[in-house]
Amino acid sequence: MSNPMAGGGMAGWSMLRSMRSRDEVSAHRLKRGVAHRIVAFARPYRRDIIVFLVTVVLAATIGVATPVLAGHVIDGISRGGPDAGALVVRLALVIAALAVVDALLSLAQRWYSARIGEGIILDLRTRVYDHVQRMPLQFFTRTQTGALVSRLNNDVLGAQRAFTSTLSGVVSNVIQLLLTAAVMFTLSWQITALSLVLLPVFIIPARRVGKRLAEITRESYNLDAKMNATMTERFGVSGALLVKLFGRPEVEAQRFAGRAERVRDIGIQSAMYSRTFFVAMLLVASLAQALTYGLGGWLAVTGSVSAGTVVTLALLLTRLYGPLTALSNVRVDVMSALVSFDRVFEVLDLKPTIEEEPDAVPVPRGNGRVEFRDVRFRYPSAAEVSLASLEEVAALDRTVNEPVLRGVSFSVEPGQMVALVGPSGAGKSTLSMLISRIYDVTDGQVLVGGVDVRDATLDSLRDEIGVVTQDSHLFHETIAENLRYAKPDATDDEIWAALAGAQVADLVRSLPDGLETTVGERGYRFSGGEKQRIAIARLLLKAPSIVILDEATAHLDSESEAAVQRALSVALTGRTALVIAHRLSTVRDADQILVLDGGRIVERGRHEELVAVGGLYAELYRTQFAVADSPTPYVDATGPEPVAVPPLRPYLADEALPPAAAN
């Protein structure tokens, strides 16, 4: 006789999963129109979904027809007669044919399920990934990276299940339940009613098991998240170095082991709860089947029903409990799928603050003129750029931020170098970000080549502007791949020329793999000076007309700084430069120095003029140097001799570069 769990095993797993997520689902409030958006999203797959559902219905029908035919076989054997053998053979052949059709339908279901599901995953992931890339920088400074990645993985997979396991499960279970119940009541309503008596005995305890499973599963997820966070922080280069310098490896290991041991204990508990659940389901189904045989056998002996009817009812019973248990939690299954979609839509509904206008025009190539006209700017509030669920806070801060820039006006002519100096928080880096349109001005205008950056095409703006920051990022790829990020079609000769201009070609040639050397996570296989020079080579390969240097040598030792300064001198030749610097010795030869304080330009002029005025610039200069005449050396505390850092300015093609120690 068949296994009482046949046809119900997968439904049991589905019910168990549903009960685990019941609390999370019930706590989520869906936005209006989610279902309509899901239908619109699935429209490209409507033909595949229709075919998929047809195969599900046919498979459910075959699942009910097979036990009925098996009952007829028993009746044919019981009646006997000259035609009994032929009847039994014909019925057996029909059952075999249905089994073949069912197998083919199963393959067809899997094909269409995979086609629909993987297609939806592709569409959702690519759309979310593309959308997230367009979000403002402040979105990334506020968002937890792990939470954002989860949207691209867990929630997308949850949304996919809506069109595969959830949709097929609901349709299949409803069809199978209706057909099975109709056939069973037609054959014997007494046996059917008695068989269902034990169903509450199973469902009520199972819900309690599910609640306990939800609790320990949630604890397990939290512990896993903490362990992942610990590993991510400690296994990164910076984290590993910090542990070696200040941490205690044995304490770190004990803390991690404590969490891992709790996860182990939860795994054992979860396994026992799950086994108890299925043993209970198997036991109840077996008891119900025993009642069917008992009552059905007695009715068959008294002549009320045939022996074949008893067998049919017993077989159909195994196909009744699975759908009943699954459909008892159908609302949670459907809500889980809707919640996954809603969480994905939540990210897609965040509006990028930087968007290209339909009638945008390209920035004139090679112009290099930059102008600020009464620029005012405040950073957007958290509610404008982020999601509470991605920051793991109850509600986002809606406080309107104070202005960072308050009426800034200046211009930089092509080929000029303008320096931005001032105390921390004065707005220097913010001002530079407005040029490359990392942010948009709150009021006023920023023009590049005479075009308002808000009216310019984003591609032309990116082509015209190159930026080197104090912590230039390199991807965990080869040197060549990192450089070609600026110019994908660059030849090897162009790359070597850029490396030579950045004073780092000899270093790369000395490496065993040359351009194919992997730089490591964030470029940590190279020193700070070497990494900066590779970043400068990337800028040279891009060949922009405007260069922005944002504290490009702030964290380097004096020898590395001297080498990077030489590379920057090449990078600035013939280009408009906007230089942000705390070390004032590097910008003393700038064509114009702008002193910012409190979001305003409080002083402007050349170095000698500003020192003579005796204002904020002179105060900053005296703070850094004991003597105000040129050129003041930096002293490397680790070396016996002071190393002079040259002023940051372009060197002429026929002018000898000053000597500097190679990093």
User: pLDDT tens across 480-526, in order?
Assistant: 888 888 888 888 898 898 888 888 888 889 888 888 888 877 666 77
> 3-state DSSP call for residue 649?
coil
Lowest mean pLDDT across 25-34, 285-294, 518-527, 534-543: 25-34
Q: What is the rounded (10 degree) CA torsion for 33, 336, 160, 270? A: 170
Ramachandran area for residue 265 (φ above 0: left; ψ -120 to 50: alpha; else beta): alpha
Please state, in angstroms and as integers, the Cα–Cα distance from residue 663 to each residue in 506, 528, 531, 563, 655, following that order. Answer: 11, 9, 10, 7, 22
Greater confidence, 40 or 104? Answer: 104
Closest CA to 578 of 408, 403, 363: 408
Ramachandran angles phi, psi of 550, nearest 5° = -105, 90
- Residue 74 structure tokens: 């028993």
pLDDT at 10: 44
- Nearest Cα to Cα of residue 417 among 303, 578, 260, 525: 578
- Give CA–CA dist 309/72, Å, rounded: 8
Give Cβ neighbours of residue 130 (< 8 Å, ≥ 6 apart). Answer: none
pLDDT at 101: 94
Q: What is the DSSP string of 361-419?
A: BPPPTT---EEEEEEEE-PPPHHHH--HHHHT-SS---PPPPPSEEEEEEEE-TT-EEE
Q: What tens digit of pLDDT does each residue of 342-358 get?
A: 878 888 888 887 888 88
pLDDT score at 447: 92
Give the model's pLDDT for residue 549.
Answer: 84
How confident is the prediction for the chain on average, in pLDDT? 77
* Beta-bridge mates of residue 443: 376
Q: Extract the tokens encoding 379.
A: 């950073």
| Helices 307-327 and 9-20, packing angle to 10 deg | 20
Closest CA to 643 of 585, 582, 578: 585
Please, are residues 408 and 385 in contact by the beta-carbon 8 Å criterion?
A: no
Q: Which residue has the higher pLDDT, 140 or 411?
A: 411
- Listed in sequence order, the residues at least 6 apart from 234 whose beta carbon sits closer than 8 Å to its beta carbon are 240, 243, 252
Q: Which residue has the higher pLDDT, 88 or 521?
A: 88
Domain range summary for the chain, segments of one domain joined by +: 9-348, 409-437+467-624
* Whole-angstrom distance, CA of residue 359 vs CA of residue 338: 38
pLDDT band at 446 (very low <50, low <70, confident <90, very high): very high
Q: Cα(451)–Cα(461) distance, rounded to whole angstroms?
A: 10
d(CA 337, CA 339): 5
Q: Which CATH code, of 2.70.70.10, 3.10.150.10, 3.40.50.300, 3.40.980.10, is assigned to 409-437+467-624? A: 3.40.50.300
CATH topology of domain 9-348: ABC transporter transmembrane region fold (1.20.1560)
Please, what's the b/e burial string for 406-436 (b: 16 or more CB within 10 A of its CB; e: otherwise)? bebebebeebbbbbbbbeeebbbbbbbbbbb
Q: What pLDDT, in 10s, does the model give residues 3-29?
A: 444 444 444 444 444 444 444 444 455
pTM of the full structure: 0.67
